[in-house]
Structure 1
Amino acid sequence: MAAVQAAPAFLDLEKGVEKTIALIEEAAAAGAKLIAFPECWLPGYPFWAWLDAPAWGMQFVGRYFEASMTADGPEAQRIAAAAAANGVWVVLGYSERCAGSLYIAQLLIDDHGRIVHARRKLKATHVERTIFGEGDGSDIRVHATPLGRLGALCCWEHLNPLTKYAMYAQDEQIHVASWPSFSLYQGKAFALGPELNNAVSQVYAAEGQCFVVAPSAVVSQEIVDTVCDTDIKRDLLPLGGGYSVIYGPDGALLSERLAPTAEGLVYADIDLSAIAFAKAAADPAGHYSRPDVARLLFNPAPSARVERLDRGSTHRDHSAIFAQEAGAEMPAQAEGDAKLVL
């Protein structure tokens, strides 16, 4: 397994795709069967939302929208083709553009280049909600793969106990925890720092008795120069923030650590048989649960924005309305026809 620790090609989708493919090739050459990318790797995390008022951040809206990737567009297909060419699974963090909205998303691609799942973050965190929409229960899924049962969440989805439990209950074995850089507010807000958030990934591994691959991004000088126009903002967003790690099902650190400003990949070999030993001690979705005391109500169905109630009709039958107004006899309504509601 490989976790990316690198700076994105900020607000440049084309260069971002090229860098993504290069990292896929590097991971595959090193023998990795899965590579995981940070949250919003394409086209980079929108740090400006944390640095000033929404009105100031509007200057980035158009650029970010245009640089965001669709789940099934040509850029996604190029990355999928790279996954197939290198025989590696890819879990890609990206800003998904869908119609007029953006979503924090992850694309799961198999080693044959097939898109297994295009999931969205269930709830954008804090000021992220000024930019992104939210997912639904269909995004909380674990997939059977030749590597093991694979799932993914983004950032502070890992702080929601009910979301985590829904994942654990699907017998997750390999989990990708995609994070942005831990540079923001470094030394000023402990909740956003690497200590707590890496601990969250570690606890996820121990609670779910699964392997956790936790990539994080690096804040580059390019990002700072783009979103920081004052010394105060530069102080709030220093360089670095990369803390990519991989944990075992007992919470043990399996990978090396790179310097926070370094770019590269961290690797770990995994053995799924280790999960049985971890679950023998405590399986909160199995023998260590008490469903007679507490259970989770989980709706895995997608939430439709629009539901049609016309039973197949695609237009109003205005001729019937005009005939009725003129006093003409209405034609008999065939069984199964849509009723016209005025």
Structure 2
Amino acid sequence: MRWKPCRVAIVQQPPVFLNLQASLERAGQLLLEAAEAGAELVVFPETWLPGYPVWLDEAPGAALWDAPGPKAVYRLLWENALEIPGPTFEQLQALVRESERYVVLGVHERLRGTLYNTQLFLQPDGSWALHRKLVPTYTERLIWGRGDGSTLTVVETPFGRLGGLICWEHWMPLARAAMHARFEQIHVAQWPSVHELHQIASRHYAFEGRCFVLAAGTVLHKQDVLDGLESLSRVPPEARELLASIPGDPERLLQTGGSAVIGPDGHYVAGPVWNEPAFVTATLDPGRLPEGFLTLDVDGHYARPDVFHLEVNTRSQLAVTFQHEAP
């Protein structure tokens, strides 16, 4: 088994907040910049398209029942979420094909009436796979549904198996165990910002899984939020009022980045980079991967299946199924 070295770039840049089409155009520009710099795998943070819902943690009144502000902002988010497949998704596929790169992108996905926190894996030929966050955390449950085991995804690439988890899924021991059993070589850890505890979780995952981890976070100012809102063609005053109520001046940092590339020994290869837009880049040396298995392989010689066994349900969980009876 031989894997090629891989040049990676983590995009630590703000989207055009809440604006799907403008953020998609920005993603295309950033993707081409990363490709021109030699990146073969380009990674964007959690729900970058079109922005992590910072108002949940920052805006007073964001969780009030039947309040006009939260409803107005949610409607804008719902209207600017990505349908997969769909016309906007086809534009995204075209951008990836043009770049000829592998891309991992965090998106708000709209599936019928529900939004999901989704991690998209896009390949240069236009093929794709996705992972939906299994458990939205705390106030996130106001806007996202739950994923299921059918999207615990790995993608075969020339650089090895590529997989990922989103944010606090890295503190779900059984989710980690399931992904380690998929035998990832490169793992994408998407976060809003990669705070200290998130750094610890990402480094732990790299050491435990004996894989490279790309921990991706966004840099976002309050002004980015307000500018993104005003870029929309229709802005309900209730939405403007809610987002303007986020404390602090326009230059306040709401997301601080912290993106980093971590080696299979848990040590940093690049970064972390804080508080500024950046591309965090590194070359992954696949020769480092087997060395760690000498002492630890949690799905192999360091497992005890006679004592512990995990069964993963990979069926899609559907509320309604239709059985067609032929005449």
| TM-score, with length taken from structure 1 | 0.82
Q: CA RMSD in A?
A: 1.9
In 2: Cα distance, 1:232 partner to 1:85 partner: 41
| 3-state secondary structure, aligned to 1:122 | coil
> CA contact under 8 A between 1:71 and 1:118: conserved in structure 2?
no
In 2: Cα distance, 1:257 partner to 1:8 partner: 20
**Gaps (5+ residues) in structure 1?**
183-193, 314-336, 338-342
Q: How many residues align?
A: 299
Kindly state the Cα deviation for residue 271 of structure 1 after the two structures are TM-superposed.
Answer: 1.6
> CA contact under 8 A between 2:9 and 2:34: conserved in structure 1?
yes
Aligned 1:89-168 pairs, distance under 5 A: 89-115=102-128, 117-168=129-180
> CA contact under 8 A between 2:132 and 2:146: conserved in structure 1?
yes
Aligned residue for 2:74?
A: 61
Of 240, 253, 263, the match for 1:248: 263
In 1: Cα distance, 2:27 partner to 2:304 partner: 44
| 3-state secondary structure, aligned to 1:273 | helix
Kindly state the Cα deviation for residue 82 of structure 1 after the two structures are TM-superposed.
Answer: 1.8
Change (3 A) 1:233 1:164: farther
Larger relative strand fraction: 2
Question: What whole-Å deviation, never above 9, does each CA across 1:263-293 have from its counterpart, x for those lacking one?
Answer: 1210110122211001111111111011111
| 3-state secondary structure, aligned to 1:90 | strand
Question: What whole-Å deviation, never above 9, does each CA across 1:146-184 have from its counterpart, x for those lacking one?
Answer: 2210111111111101001100011111111111135xx
Partner amino acid for 2:97? A
> CA contact under 8 A between 1:250 and 1:278: conserved in structure 2?
yes
Change (3 A) 1:57 1:88: same
Aligned 1:130-279 pairs, distance under 5 A: 130-181=142-193, 194-225=195-226, 228-230=243-245, 232=247, 238-260=253-275, 262-279=276-293
Aligned residue for 2:325?
A: 312
In 2: Cα distance, 1:223 partner to 1:57 partner: 19
> CA contact under 8 A between 2:28 and 2:95: conserved in structure 1?
yes
> CA contact under 8 A between 2:106 and 2:120: conserved in structure 1?
yes
Aligned residue for 1:83?
A: 96
Kindly state the Cα deviation for residue 305 of structure 1 after the two structures are TM-superposed.
Answer: 2.4
In 1: Cα distance, 2:35 partner to 2:249 partner: 36
Kindly state the Cα deviation for residue 256 of structure 1 after the two structures are TM-superposed.
Answer: 3.1
| 3-state secondary structure, aligned to 1:59 | helix
Partner amino acid for 2:218? A
Kindly state the Cα deviation for residue 219 of structure 1 after the two structures are TM-superposed.
Answer: 1.7
Partner amino acid for 2:143? I
Change (3 A) 1:83 1:59: same
In 2: Cα distance, 1:203 partner to 1:100 partner: 36
> CA contact under 8 A between 1:105 and 1:120: conserved in structure 2?
yes
Greater relative contact order (Cα 8 A, min sep 6): structure 1 or 2? 2
In 1: Cα distance, 2:120 partner to 2:101 partner: 14
In 1: Cα distance, 2:246 partner to 2:261 partner: 35
- Is the counterpart of residue 14 in structure 1 residue 31 in structure 2? no
Partner amino acid for 1:295? H
**Gaps (5+ residues) in structure 2?**
1-7, 227-239
Change (3 A) 1:126 1:239: closer
In 1: Cα distance, 2:294 partner to 2:106 partner: 33
Partner amino acid for 1:253? Y
